[in-house]
Structure 1
């Protein structure tokens, strides 16, 4: 199993109002298709491990995710991050805040955060 970040976010009207539908501009592996309309968000697994027990097989995995938002303006990036945090925070733990800068390659404002997501097997 994998953390259901896309399913949770794509089911949120607040998120899809900003990232669209068909497709919802939230992409795995930290990469969006070339020419994707902004704003968009990407996510990737940066760490993960089973939650081990001495007397049985793990029943839960912990995924550490990094989420990054790219937007034309800093305020648009903030708005998408806020919507994503609200919906993700109902299912997982926001564990830290990452980059908050203008990306040199895309000339987009980039803002990110980290998530710990527990997934039952």
Structure 2
């Protein structure tokens, strides 16, 4: 049980163009490749629950995901965040804009948001 976020982002041409084309820099579990090229984005499941019923087994799961984009400058990281938004919104609900920041150690800019995705079983 997982949301098809990778497939959705891979199918979205603007996101692919910003995140490396065929070698899409969009990683699972919130982990980036060490020394990888910028910009990149990561995603991870941060919550969720099955849709429980009294008389039947659940037929869907609600998944809460966090998406983080990283780049060397704020303009690029916003462009990546907006492209990811445009890829995801036709399929799921963006529920929170977590924020923008700069990592004090790496100096990379970060754009973070949360997504609720209803996944059919």
TM-score range, shorter chain: over 0.9
User: Are 2:16 and 2:22, in contact at CA under 8 Å, matched by a contact in 1?
Assistant: no
Matched, 1:85 2:98: no
4+ aligned runs moved over 6 Å, structure 1 = none
Q: Distance in 2 between matches of 1:22 and 1:11?
A: 10
Q: What TM-score do you get using the length of structure 2 for normalisation?
A: 0.96
Q: What TM-score do you get using the length of structure 1 for normalisation?
A: 0.96
Q: Distance in 1 between matches of 2:42 and 2:22?
A: 16
Task: Map Cα deviations across residues 49-83 of structure 1 (whole Å, 9 max, x no partner).
Answer: 10111111000001100000000110101000000
Q: Distance in 2 between matches of 1:26 and 1:6?
A: 7
Question: What is the Cα-based RMSD across aligned positions, in Å?
Answer: 0.9
Matched, 1:50 2:81: no
**1:36 corresponds to:** 36
Q: State how many pairs are aligned.
A: 121
**2:59 corresponds to:** 59
Unaligned runs of 5+ in 2: none
Unaligned runs of 5+ in 1: none
Q: Secondary structure at the match of 2:30?
A: coil
**2:27 corresponds to:** 27
Q: Secondary structure at the match of 2:16?
A: helix
Q: Secondary structure at the match of 2:53?
A: coil
